[in-house]
Amino acid sequence: MDPMPATAWSGSIGFGLVSIPVKLYSAVSRKTVRFHQIDTRTGARVKQKRVSAADGTEVAWDDIAKGYEQADGSYVVLPDSDLSALDPKANKTIEIEQFVDLAEIDPIMYDSAYNVVPDPTNPKPYALLMEAMEASGKVAIARFVMRTKEHLAALRPLDGRLVLSTMVYADEVNDPSEFEALDAIADVEVSAKERKVAEALIDSLAEPFEPEAFVDEYREKVLDLIEARAGGARDIVTGEADDTDDEKVVDIMAALEASIAEAKKARRRHPAASDDDADDDADDTPTKAAKKPAKTTRKAAKRRAS
C-alpha cells in the first residue's frame, strides 16, 4: 500500500466570518520509472556540477543568484532579498471570493489537485460547507498562498469530501487563434449522413468511465523489463514495427462504417456478450463496444496492490 502523502499545506478556509481548519494533501501520486545516469565504464552514478559558462570552473551555491535574461543576452541579477520583499503575505487562509457553476470552469484551467482534510476535533464547519455546496451545485473560487506563491483555486465537493484544484491564470492559457490550421475548420462541409455515421460510432463506443480499467502499459512493461534484467535476462528487447502511414488518404465514410463493424465484432467476442447482444448486432442500431480489459501482468498487479 502506498504511504500517505505528506501534508502540502495547513491553515483554514475563510467562509464569510467562519474559519474552517483544514490540511491539504496531494490528491495525485504520479507513477513513473526514474532512472539515474550511469557511467558504463565503472557502473558508478554520473553527477552534474554547476559550472561557469565563462571559464568552466565550478560555482559554489553562495555565489549563485537569480538572473533574468534580456533581449540583448545580458542579465538583470536579482538578489534573494529583492524577491523576498515581493512574496505574498502567507496568511494561512484559503479565502473564498465567489461561487460559480462547475460548467463555467473550462478543465484547461485546472492544475494540481489536493484532498482537503478537516480538523478531526471539529469537523462540523467542514461538513456544513460541503453539504451546502452540494445542495447549491456551486464551486468556490478562492485564493491562498502556498510556498511563497499565491494560487487561484477551485474548491468543490466530491464523494463526501472537499477537493481543491489550483488553477492557471487566464493569461497563462495559450491563445488557440495562433494556430492558423484551425481556420480551415470553418470551410469544411459535413453532410448529415457523415455526421449520423460519426454519431453512430460514438454511440457504439460509449460506456461508463471506469478509471481503474486503464493502466500505464508502458510503465508496466519497463518495470517487467527491469525485473527481468535484474534477474539475469539478456535477451534483446525489440519493439513492434510502426506500420502507420500518416500520408495515406482515408475515405471517411468507409473508415467510420468499418469502425462500427469492428466495435460490433468486439462486443460479440466479449465473454459477457449475451444472445440479446448478438441480436442487436444483426440490425443497424448502434451498439456499445465491449470494454477492453486492462492489460497488465501478474507482477504488475502485485506491484499496484503493494
What domains sit in the chain, N to C, each tagged with a CATH number?
A: 7-30+87-170 (2.40.290.10), 190-235+252-305 (no CATH)
Nearest Cα neighbor of 292 from 267, 274, 273 is 267
Neighbouring C-alpha atoms within 13 Å toward the C-beta of 229: 8
- Distance between CA atoms of 290 and 140, rounded to whole angstroms? 38
CB-neighbour burial class of residue 251 (10 A; exposed 0-12, middle 13-18, buried 19+)? exposed
Task: Say if CB 100 and CB 141 are below 8 A apart.
Answer: yes
pLDDT tens, residue order, the chain (306 aa): 566 778 999 999 999 888 999 999 999 888 888 999 999 999 999 998 899 999 999 999 999 999 999 999 999 999 888 888 877 776 789 999 999 999 999 999 999 999 999 999 999 999 999 999 999 999 999 999 998 889 999 999 999 999 999 999 999 999 998 899 999 998 899 999 999 999 998 988 889 999 899 888 888 888 888 888 888 887 766 666 665 555 555 677 788 788 888 887 777 666 555 555 545 544 544 444 444 444 444 454 455 544
Q: What global pTM score does this model have?
A: 0.70
